[in-house]
Chain A
Amino acid sequence: MSAVELGMPSLPHGLQGVPAATEPQNRKEYVSDQEVRWCPGCGDYAVLAAFQGFLPELGIKRENVAMVSGIGCSSRFPYYLSTYGMHSIHGRAPAIATGLATARPDLSVWVVTGDGDALSIGGNHLIHTLRRNVNLKILLFNNRIYGLTKGQYSPTSEPGKVTKSTPMGSVDNPFNPVSLALGAEATFVARTVDSDRKHLTSVLRAAAEHRGTAFVEIYQNCPIFNDNAFEAFKDPETRDDAIIPLVHGEPIRFGTDGHLGVVRDGFASLAVREVADLPGGESDLVVHDAHTEDPAYAFALSRLTDGGVLHQAPIGVFRSVDRPAYDDLVRQQITTAQEAQGPGDLQSLVTGADTWTVN
């Protein structure tokens, strides 16, 4: 076996290949006729509203948007959007969307999934999709609980979580979804919060424009089974010290009056410090560069997320780098083969080289 130089002259960028809308669109056009069925107060409502508001600004034809979801409360999302959609089976949406995106370069394909859907039953598909860098956008609604099945702990629940299936507390260590995605060398990784529409929309916009897999973790509140899991990021009292804002090109500084900042700390590690304690003050802070090739930097950032109950976590785009998308390369090989050998002649293929004729 040998490796070949893939040679990728001019691969498409962003939404290239998806037909543009001929007329301006509005939010209402993206609202389907189905009654929304989430519990009152569910964080999914806010995400849906933000998404419906954001889609028109993409400026692509509505019929060229395809939503693929798995199973879970959040996976009902496609029903509420007047785009093409598939509500598939538990955990498999990334695999299904891979086939769709590979077959159809003219679609903007979105995957909607939950923490159980993406990280438990569908963990394998998730990491391989990220590894391949298929051109699709994954929205992971992380409520740190199994909502649809009524409240069992999930692979993102904090250790010691007491639920119906873990009456004495869960004993397993959770995944940090952003760390996991970065471990799979995802090319676009971001985190946002359901209630911050402006931030959510800005992340969705960046994700949509990314060629390749964009992975977006959305902290989503489930008021029924895991209420206030993200309260630290919402409560005006605590949020300034809780949100570590990632803004490309800016020093990572936060907290009331900017008293906290992120500095390099030992081998490939980052830490939060009081800016006042730093010898160089702000100049000692890390300036966020989402385009850093080495995923170790973004990974170090992701480790600033609390492992247990959340008090502090980075929010924003951790990583955004260019790497050819799987489906673009697959299509390119087909084009190359057709250019080199001409379109296939099936009759000569089935005939082959060794024949004999009986008269």
Chain B
Amino acid sequence: MSLTRRPADPSFDLEMNRTVTIEVKQLDRVVIRFAGDSGDGMQLTGDRFTAETASFGNDLSTLPNFPAEIRAPAGTLPGVSSFQLHFADHDILTPGDAPDVLIAMNPAALKANLKDVPRGRTLIVDTADFTARNLKRIGYDENPLETGELDGYHVVPLNLTGMTVESVKEFGLSRKDASRAKNMYALGLVSWLFQRPVESTISFLETKFASKPDIRDANIAAFRAGYNFGETAEEFSVRYEVKPASMAAGTYRNISGNLALAYGLVAGAQRAGLPMVLGAYPITPASDVLHELSKLKRFNVTTIQAEDEIAGVGAALGASFGGALGVTTSSGPGISLKSETIGLGVMLELPLVVCDIQRAGPSTGMPTKTEQADLLQVMFGRNGEAPLPVLAAQSPADCFAIAVEAARIAVTYRTPVIVLSDGYLANGSEPWKIPVIEDLPTIDPNFTTAPNAPDGKYLPYERDPETLARAWAIPGTAGLDHRIGGLEKEDKTGNISYDPANHDLMIRTRQAKVDGIDVPAVEVDDPDGTAKVLVLGWGSTYGPIGAAVRRVRKVGGKIAQAHLRHLNPFPANLGDVLMSYDKVLVPEMNLGQLAMLLRAKYLVDVVSYAQVRGMPLGAAELAEVIGNLVEETEGIDDDARHLGAAAAAVKHGEALVAEQNGHLKTEGAR
């Protein structure tokens, strides 16, 4: 495997004199978290570090975490925003449970994140804001850097703000403006620490601040100063290297779930040869899909920012009636509002893609936090028998493929389709092997253009015998004018009908159409075929479940894993898969919604593992649950079990801490 990379930026002076030689240590993976005030630009910093890491060729996974308030009061705990990145020299599945390195830009960021960082790991702390007043505000009576509270951590206290201001003084900015570049200083420093390629960040800053030359130059200067500080300062005697991951040959990019979803929707429409019309109303965490699609007008994408979610889905359905691919994107509260129109779509049998980027509920819930608790809502949250296909993306990049699949099903079967994503997938990112568009399946809208009845008439509800899809003629087609609506329709003609037998037939036919959708079989990962326990998940728990399964296997546990991307209909082999294991564990970020569906449909007593904390499942915690269940299934007594604890204790990244030990000074600000 080889990597093509851009040459190093020559302006980085790596030959500066240093008295201590720098050692380079190899690590297999690192979890790093940037935390600061929501005004400190932590998301941007994280994004840039991610881009550097992606271009270096590591596998990676990210977890942005920000407050719902746009600008919560500065320096307060609710105002803390963070960005976590896990990168490795092998393939990884999650953003990591616990950071190896925390970069805390102020006392609140330290306090809010400290509980997630195990002792023994590294804290790089900007000391500039550690004043008595600021500390008091967040409930510290004394400076935690001095009280011994951080004993056992490897603390690197640095006056990042002061050094930033110093490094940009030639640009004559106010202290406030100058100190705003501190995130770039910090980024420069950690870029040095982990030997990240820096060219992309420089060119990013050049473009981003092209119209504000002082700000541009100050940010670049701060970034370089941070990098060079690492090189020259004696705080750091070790740099780390995380080798590129070996990945399948191909061209890669980093992509977030919402961007992948937007691109997938466009790809689906293009493969069907249909213009796309998005009707949407802004809502976290779905708005970015609206934003991205709004930029894509040249792809014949129309975006309508509607007056509410009902109008958004209405406009999409109206566009579908006109022969476009209607799409609407929202989150749980918006999906509730759309229910009646989605039901109309079920009745009209028109294509419609409805994306639910789930967030923590109920009601307004926790808008910026993730959850998977809309499954039952999208399955059943409509009046009457209103079945429709439900798909769920399993990783950020998978949002692309799921969107193409949704377009295929919607157009082929003439039905609304639900796509489930969630806040974690939406904002998280990972490397993506860029697909070849020409290799994606084509989708045939198969419009009806001529009468389809023997008497020369058009029957809008005449069906394809294979798919049960109805004959779809669009306005403008001569001789095929027809009227459809939400009232029950007579079979074939689509005329209003209150006939009891017809209603029963139509209800069953709509159900049979959805049940009969062609979906791929679920694949089971059971390395030697001897596992007794299956872990089955859906959606964004794919990463944590996979990571937990690896931990269990590492300590010798036998465990099978499978993941559902199609939730309605379920893959045809699912029942057999469930029956072939003694126990099936279903981890979900809800109170057991998939577990309920599986029990109802297959009469299998699945074990539900439910966590609804607004955060992705923790791999270590889940590994413990799996390990215990494996031993329980093998008949091992409670007190003799060890697998779970061992799996939970599988560690990574400790090398980072051990190496810095002894070299770090804990002097204050300089």
Contacts and interface: CB of A to CB of B under 8 A. Distances in A.
Interface of A: 19, 32, 34, 61-64, 66-68, 71, 78-79, 81-89, 92, 95-104, 106-107, 124-125, 128, 330-331, 333-334, 336-338, 340-344, 346-347, 349-352, 354-359
B323 A103 contact: yes
The list of the 5 closest CB pairs from A to B, nearest first, reads: A87-B485, A99-B318, A95-B314, A99-B315, A344-B299
B484 A87 contact: yes
A63 B479 contact: yes
B232 interface: no
B299 A349 contact: yes
A75 B478 CA distance: 24
A156 B319 CA distance: 31
A182 B246 CA distance: 65
Given A89-B340, A104-B475, A350-B263, A359 B296 contact: no
B90 to A, nearest CB: 13
Contacts of A106: 476
Interface stretch (B30-38, B247-255, B361-369, B625-633): B247-255
B270 A346 contact: yes
B434 A356 contact: no
B344 interface: yes
B251 A346 contact: no
B485 A349 contact: no
Among B5, B200, B318, B487, chain A packs the most CB atoms within 10 A around the CB of B318
Contact of B476 (A64, A99, A125, A343): A64
19 contacts: A71-B486, A84-B475, A87-B483, A95-B279, A98-B318, A99-B314, A102-B304, A102-B319, A103-B318, A103-B323, A334-B297, A337-B298, A343-B299, A349-B266, A356-B55, A356-B251, A357-B4, A357-B250, A359-B249
Contact of B486 (A32, A78, A88, A99): A88
B475 A95 contact: no
Contacts of B321: 66, 86, 96, 99-100
B427 interface: no
A95 B253 CA distance: 38
Interface of B: 1-5, 51, 54-57, 200, 246-255, 263, 266-267, 270, 275, 277, 279, 296-302, 304, 306-308, 310-312, 314-324, 326, 340-341, 343-344, 348, 400, 434-438, 475-487, 495-496
A102 B302 contact: yes
A356 B275 contact: no
B251 A68 contact: no
Contacts of A349: 263, 266, 296, 299
Nearest to B328: A99
Nearest to A95: B314
A113 to B, nearest CB: 13
Nearest to B308: A124
Given A346-B270, A354-B54, A358-B248, A68 B481 contact: no
A103 B481 contact: no
A264 B57 CA distance: 77
Contacts of A64: 475-476
A154 B247 CA distance: 66
B297 to A, nearest CB: 4
A128 B1 contact: no
B322 A103 contact: yes
Contact of B322 (A32, A81, A107, A340): A107
B564 to A, nearest CB: 26
B314 A103 contact: no
A342 B296 CA distance: 11
Given A125-B314, A354-B51, A357-B251, A89 B344 contact: yes
B302 A334 contact: yes
Contact of A355 (B252, B341, B487): B252
B434 A63 contact: no
A99 B317 contact: yes
A102 B267 CA distance: 21
B304 A98 contact: yes
A32 B316 contact: no
A104 B324 CA distance: 9
B307 A128 contact: yes
A102 B277 contact: yes
A120 B261 CA distance: 36
Contacts of A334: 297-298, 300-302
Given A89-B340, A107-B476, A124-B308, A358 B250 contact: yes
Contacts of B266: 344, 346, 349
The listed residue with most A CB atoms (<10 A of its CB), out of B248, B299, B436, B477, is: B299
A350 B437 contact: yes
B341 A92 contact: yes
B483 A86 contact: yes
A18 B51 CA distance: 49
Given A346-B437, A349-B266, A350-B400, 11 more contacts: A86-B348, A98-B314, A99-B321, A125-B310, A331-B302, A336-B297, A338-B300, A346-B299, A350-B435, A354-B254, A356-B253
Contact of A86 (B246, B437, B485): B485
Nearest to A63: B478
Contact of A341 (B1, B298, B486): B298
A85 B297 contact: no
Nearest to B318: A99
Contacts of B340: 89, 92
A329 to B, nearest CB: 11
B437 to A, nearest CB: 5
Nearest to B348: A86
B496 A79 contact: yes
A17 to B, nearest CB: 12
B482 to A, nearest CB: 7
A63 B476 contact: yes
A96 B326 CA distance: 11
Contacts of A352: 253, 255
Contacts of A78: 483, 485
Contacts of A355: 251-253, 434
A32 B495 CA distance: 11
B322 A100 contact: yes
Contacts of A62: 481
B389 to A, nearest CB: 21
Contacts of A107: 322, 475-476
Contacts of A87: 483-487
A342 B300 CA distance: 11
B481 A84 contact: yes
B296 A98 contact: no
Contacts of B485: 78-79, 85-88
A181 to B, nearest CB: 16
Contacts of A356: 3-5, 54-57, 251-253
B484 A63 contact: no
A34 B55 CA distance: 65
Contacts of B51: 354
Contacts of B477: 63
A357 B252 contact: yes
A99 to B, nearest CB: 3
